[in-house]
Chain A
């Protein structure tokens, strides 16, 4: 499986990434794209930005390990993961997962598997910076762990 993992501060272009991946996807019959955006949240104080931190080298290796696990479960042709770090304003894209596979079932499942594991296993830490100048590191969510747990069946 072709696999390209990037952690970057810059934004990304879904269309350009899709075109680039298709060059490595062989005769794949399915391509699933997931893009996550920063939500403004519904807290009392509006969010000015999300600040994301990662562990250079370790984070990329961990994402690659997760992608290889997905490729062992479903026949995949190619995958592309981009995760942004640094300060991100509400509405900005934060994560991209592209999966090319022979058939749609594997592509859908692998994209969801990758997202569940990205949220629970990959070394990223989020801080919420509010418009009033206060900030708070986000705590791990039990709902994400539950979503990840279903893959252990």
Chain B
């Protein structure tokens, strides 16, 4: 049971990784954020509530808490700055 995490923009630099496989016992996007914030001060600050723009589960932008199925691709998106 695992999921793939993709990090974008400034998160790649602050967290020092762009993609990772994570063991996953099931849960939601809130479960995942709690787990990542528990990795230490750097992670807790980078992924503080209000800083994470959006999560994407299997290419679908998530609004609110959402289930993450086994094998999912989860994108973690900082605030966007395009155009």
Contact = CB atoms under 8 A, between A and B. Distances in A.
Interface of A: 36, 52-55, 57-58, 61-62, 83, 94-95, 115, 118-127, 137-141, 144
| Interface footprint category on B | 10 to 19
A52 B56 CA distance: 19
B83 A115 contact: yes
Contact of B83 (A53, A124, A137): A124
Contacts of B9: 53, 125, 127, 137
A125 to B, nearest CB: 3
B75 to A, nearest CB: 6
Contacts of A118: 82-83
A137 B78 CA distance: 11
A55 B53 CA distance: 14
Interface in B25-66: 54, 56, 59, 61
Contact of B13 (A55, A83, A137, A141): A137
B80 interface: yes
